[in-house]
Each structure stands twice: as C-alpha cells, then as structure tokens.
Chain A
C-alpha cells in the first residue's frame, strides 16, 4: 500500500526546508515576474538566469554557498546591463545580450572546472536544474531576508514603478527618476532569479519568474488580483511539484526519484495552457463595436 503522503513526509527536514524556500522564492518570483512581463523585460530576466549560472558554478569552485554565487552574480550582472544599456529599448536588449553572452561563457568555464574538481557531473545538474531537497538549513535566513528586502523595495517604489513601466515619458514628466526606478527593479529581478535558482535551478528560474505572472495576467483584470493569483499559483505549483517529486521515489522499482524542477515547470506550463481556454480567459474585447477596425488601425500605425 502506498500513500501520497508517505509516513515520514512531514517530519522530513529536507522536505520542510524545501517547502519553506520553495514558497518564499515562488512568491518573490511571481510578484517580480508580473512587473517583468509588464515591462517587457522577460529577456533581461532570462539573461540573469545565465548570469546566475555563472555565479552558482563559480561559487562551487571557490567553495562558497551557491546562493551567495547566484545572488552576487545576478546583482553584478543587473548592474552591468543597466550601466551598458541606455534608455532605449533596443539598446537595453543589446546590452542584455552582450552581458548574457559573456556570462554564459564564464559559466561554461566554471562548470568544466567544477566537474573536474568534484569528478562528477552532479554539480552541473544541481546548479542548472536545482536540488531543493539537498539545501542546507543555514540558507533559510538569507533567503527570507533577501525576500523581505526585495518585496519591501517593490512596495516602496510601487506607484512610480507602475507608471514608468507603462510610460517612461509620463513618469519623467512627474519628476520620477525612471533610471533609478529601472535600476532598483533590475536588482529586485536579479535577487528573485537568484532565489528561484536554488529552488528550481538557474536554467529553470525563468519558468518560475514568467510562468505564474503570464498566467495571472491572462485571467485577471487588475494588478492587485494579478499579483495575488501569480503568488498563489507559484506556491501551489512549487509545493505540488515537491510532493510529486518526493512521491516519485515509489513510482519505479529502481527507487530513483524524478527531479522537482521537472514537476514544477510541467505544472506551470499546464496552468498556462489551461488559462488560455475559452471561458477561463478574461474578456479582452473592447466594449465598443469598433474593436476590429481599431486593431487594423493599430496594426497599420
């Protein structure tokens, strides 16, 4: 007889740590993700995951905590992108691409060195795809503190961030420093990528950042509900992913469990697909009958 919650599931320390860190990083990612999608900075978010890979693999080589590497490299990378990048969207994309390319090259070097040093490829797997069950309990305080700081900064700049995301021109005319807001947001993005990297791995942290946010934006009409839906969805997919991965030890006779990251990402993808079904998706039609003409006009303009 096999139960979904096997005896020992709730008393297992690694599972408890996974639940806490998974939930905290999912919430931060979801909230930062909503703004990332709104600002059209998904590419920057993805580039930061590559930068985080560099940090994580570098940290392993220098015997540091991967979290320190993820966060440190992310913050440096975000700073580099913002300082190379200019106000223009295209300039920002180019700067992002250049930082991404260099970071990935460094990651290749560190992952090679790590593999040589530990004489196994396990470390690459751990950094790229995560290993939420092997986290050190000592990482919890740092995760919580960084999360609180990030959410605090976002709460502080909430309204200026919102307006400068919609229109930098409108924000600048109100005396908002669009540049400072942009830098603060990039730092928040870097931290959220670092946090989700330890949960689902640096490569898959994009999924936790963009997936719940994009799904929430499909089904809600205002920002508050989008933030709440994205957070709840992030936590639910992470927890269900952990439960399924733990349970998967019993699925095959070899007693080999499947990776948590796979379940989390699969659930996110499933939720995103479901949110596109007719009836789930919020009404997008304009209240006036002129909607088709308008879309033509916009396409032409």
Chain B
C-alpha cells in the first residue's frame, strides 16, 4: 500500500464558461513529501486545490486520494483556504477553533472527550501555538492565525495537507516560521504537504517537488528538473531565462513578452 501515492492528479481538465483553466494537468504527491504548487495569480491554483477537495467539477481526468476516487468529504484531506478572515467578533479561543477540525461536519451536540482535548493540546504543541491556545482567534497576528488554521487542518490526522497561498500577506519572519513548520509536518509527521504560492524562493530549501502552473498547464518534478529554461519556455510558449543567484531563482521573460504570467519576484519589483 505504501507505494500508492497520497494524491494522483491524472490528466485533469477544468473550464469555466468556455475558458480552459486547467488543461490535462497531471502530477503525484507521495507520503511525507513537500510539494510547491507554483504559479502567478489567476493561473488556476485555487481551482486545482478545489478540484482535489471535490468542490470543482472536472471536464475530464481523475483525481485519486490514496488510490481512491474523490468523495464529497474526504477526512484524509486537511485544508487551509486562502484569506480566512478570523474576525474579532468570533467568540472562540484558538483551541475551540482547532477542536472544530475534529467534527465540524457532525450534527447535534456532544461533549469533548478527554482523548479529543488531549489531541487538541498535542496538535497545538506541534504547531507551537500552545501559548495562545486560550486567546480569541480574532485577536491573534497573521502568523499566529496561520498556525491555528494549520492545527485545525491537521487535528483530524489527514494524509495530505492542502494550503492555498498560506504565505501571502505574512511578514518575512512569519513566512520563514510557517515554511519550517510545514517542512517538519511533512518530514517528521509524514503528512504530505501541497502548498500553493506565487513566489517560490521561500520554499526552495524545503520543496521536495514542484508543480509549476501557467497557461492552465503544469510541469512537475524536482525543482532542478522543472525550473529550467527549456522546460519553462515550453510551458509558457515563449522563451524565458532561469537565473540562479545566491540560492535564489528568478524567471525572466525576454523584453516584449508579456511577463504578467510569470510568478512575481517582490525583490525585483522595487526598481
């Protein structure tokens, strides 16, 4: 069983109103692997994650989780959506919100068992969120809220953790902390991580594999295999250069080409 990938995305195509968003996208994610889903805004990363969650109808292709076709709610998947607004009005401590990750889909009331409370404590420790476990979720900083969201997604012991742009709008220090936390989730706890981002550099040290998406198509493999001038040029349909400098990667289009499709490099936008 262990050789069955946690996630198989098999020739998946999705279109909205005649516009192709994903075109024959294929890749696998294996147990304990950290995979970066890289592409600029609007290339279909969120659509792909929604498809994996079973929330998006596929035009063709198949998605399997641990070898099984998708079901309406797969408890083997943990999910951290983009931009969850944890409002100050939400009357919930961080630990209450994490506990919802155990059974939010159930009807009726039930008291938390000792085992459940222990599990919540354990996961709060794992994501280093213990010290603000009793604070209201709305009062936490962006990085702290991200930890709580990750704990909420992990508390039910999923095989695959999906995160949609979890690093957007975080300060650089929080980005480092969340990346290293997710790295340990994958390598120490054996949970496969699939994380979407429009900027790959923060992920380079920890990414086992990359799925590079543009124009609705995707190339996947190790970072060295994929982040190559010829591979990415074929994906973009025009020539791009890949520059590797001081352990950072820059993808640059020739002058005249529309480089709106190219993942943003914040360091370059500052003149």
Also in contact, A170 and B81, with CB within 8 A (given A38-B91, A156-B107): yes
Q: Report if B4 contacts A (CB, 8 A).
A: no
* B16: chain A residues within 8 A (beta carbon): none
* In the bound complex, CA of A176 to CA of B105 (Å): 6
A160 touches B142 (CB 8 A): no
Measured CA separation A225–B96 after assembly (Å): 13
Q: Contacting B104 at CB < 8 Å: which of A160, A169, A285?
A: A160
Quick check: A156 and B169 within 8 Å, CB to CB?
no
Interface pair A166/B141, CB less than 8 Å apart: no
Shortest Cβ distance from B95 into A: residue: A222
Given the known A-B contacts A34-B91, A294-B142, are A167 and B55 also in contact in the complex, defined by CB atoms under 8 Å?
no
Residue A255 at the chain B interface, CB threshold 8 Å: no
Which residues from A are CB-within-8-Å of B81? Answer: 167, 169-170, 173
Number of residue pairs A-B, CB distance < 8 angstroms: 114
> Is B53 in contact with chain A by the CB < 8 A criterion?
yes
Q: Tell me which residues across on chain A come within 8 A of B105, comparing CB atoms.
A: 159-160, 163, 174-176
Interface range on chain B (Cβ under 8 Å from partner): 35 or more
Q: Is B97 an interface residue (CB 8 A)?
A: yes
In the assembled complex, how far is the CB of residue B155 from the closest CB belonging to chain A, in whole angstroms? 12
Alpha-carbon separation in the docked complex, A176 to B82 (Å):
18
CB distance from B206 to the nearest CB of A (A): 24
Interface residues of B in 12-62 (CB under 8 A from A): 53-55
Min distance, Cβ A165 to any Cβ of chain B, angstroms = 8
- Provide the B117-152 mask, 1 if CB < 8 A to any CB of A, else 0: 000000000000001101110011110100000001
Q: Is A120 an interface residue (CB 8 A)?
A: no
Interface hits, A269-301 → B, CB 8 Å: 282, 284-288, 290-291, 293-294, 297-298, 301
B92-117 CB mask vs A (1 if < 8 Å, else 0) is 11001100100111111100000000
Let me know if A220 is at the binding interface, CB within 8 A. yes
* Contact A222 B96, CB 8 Å, known A38-B90, A286-B139, A288-B144: yes
Task: Give the chain B neighbours of A290 by CB distance below 8 A.
Answer: 141
How far apart are B52's CB and chain A's nearest CB, in angstroms?
Answer: 10
Q: Is B268 an interface residue (CB 8 A)?
A: no
A170 to chain B, nearest CB (A): 6
Bound state CA distance, A200 and B106, in angstroms?
Answer: 36
A172 pairs with B55, CB closer than 8 A? yes
Contact flags (1/0) for B48-81 with A, using CB distance below 8 Å?
A: 0000011100000000000000001100010101
Residue of B nearest to A295 (CB): B141
The smallest C-beta distance from B153 to any residue of chain A, in angstroms, reads: 9
- Contact for A176 among B53, B104, B171, CB less than 8 A: B104
B86 at the interface (CB under 8 A from A): yes
- Which of A156, A173, A294 has most chain B Cβ within 10 Å? A173
How long is the Cα–Cα vector from A40 to B87 in the complex, in angstroms?
A: 10
Residues of A near B107 (CB, < 8 A) are 156-160
Give CA–CA (A301, B97) in the complex, Å.
23
Name A285's closest neighbour in chain B (CB-CB): B139
How far, in angstroms, from A285 to B144 measured CA to CA in the complex? 13
Q: Is B84 interfacial (CB 8 A cutoff)?
A: yes
Pick the residue among A34, A160, A173, A291 that contacts B53 (CB under 8 A). Answer: A173
Asked if A128 is at the interface (CB within 8 A of a chain B CB), the reply is no
Question: With an 8 A cutoff between CB atoms, is A217 at the interface?
Answer: yes
Instruction: Tell me whether B88 is interfacial, beta carbon within 8 Å.
Output: yes
Chain B neighbourhood of A113, CB < 8 A:
none
Q: Inside 8 A of A287's CB, which chain B residues have their CB?
A: 131-132, 135
Q: Does A95 contact B (CB under 8 A)?
A: no
The answer to whether the Cβ of A155 comes within 8 Å of any Cβ in the partner chain is: yes
Distance of B13 from chain A, by nearest CB (Å): 22
CA distance A274 to B79 in the complex (A): 40
A240 adjacent to chain B (CB < 8 Å) = no
Residue of A nearest to B99 (CB): A159
Top-6 shortest CB links A-B? A175-B73, A294-B141, A169-B81, A163-B104, A301-B169, A226-B91
Q: A170-B84, A293-B141 are in contact. List 19 more A-B contacts (CB 8 A).
A: A38-B91, A156-B107, A159-B103, A159-B105, A163-B100, A167-B81, A174-B73, A175-B73, A175-B105, A176-B73, A176-B105, A223-B96, A284-B136, A284-B139, A286-B135, A287-B131, A294-B141, A297-B141, A297-B142
| Chain A to chain B contacts (Cβ below 8 Å), 11 pairs | A159-B100, A159-B104, A166-B84, A166-B90, A169-B84, A174-B73, A223-B92, A284-B136, A287-B132, A288-B132, A293-B141
